[in-house]
């Protein structure tokens, strides 16, 4: 059982201000969550293989390979820069 004192302590650590009514409400809700999660320990899982995700999806992103830009792409990119020097974007020096 999570008490409202424990909720107030956690709120203080998180730099949150809670009214006593809010602390009581959150204590009840958090207690229900902890009780529900506790039900999982009652389930027989010795034969179940651990999984990180259950949808079967795999990474569908393309490989990150560099490619040369054509002249139009280069001009489009350079046209958005504030300062261009020798076909390069010039930025402020930061030390």
Mean pLDDT value of segment 4-16: 95
Residue ranges of the domains in the chain?
4-42
Structure confidence at residue 1 (pLDDT): 85
Residues 56-81 have pLDDT tens digits of 777 778 888 899 999 999 999 999 99
Q: Tell me: the pLDDT tens digits for 15-25?
A: 999 999 999 99
Q: Which CATH class is domain 4-42?
A: mainly alpha
- Cα 88-94-95 angle, rounded to 5 deg: 135
**Could you tell me the two tokens for 30?**
């958090």
- Using CA atoms, how far apart are residues 51 and 45, in angstroms rounded to an integer? 12
């Amino acid at each position: 059982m999570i008490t409202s004192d424990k909720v107030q302590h956690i709120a203080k650590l998180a730099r949150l201000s809670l009214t006593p009514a809010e602390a009581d409400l959150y204590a009840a809700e958090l207690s229900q969550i902890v009780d529900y999660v506790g039900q999982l320990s009652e389930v027989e899982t010795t034969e179940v293989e651990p999984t990180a995700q259950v949808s079967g999806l795999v990474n569908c992103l393309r490989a990150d390979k560099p490619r040369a830009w054509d002249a139009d792409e280069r001009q489009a990119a350079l046209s958005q820069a504030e300062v261009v020097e020798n076909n390069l974007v010039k930025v402020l020096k930061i030390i």
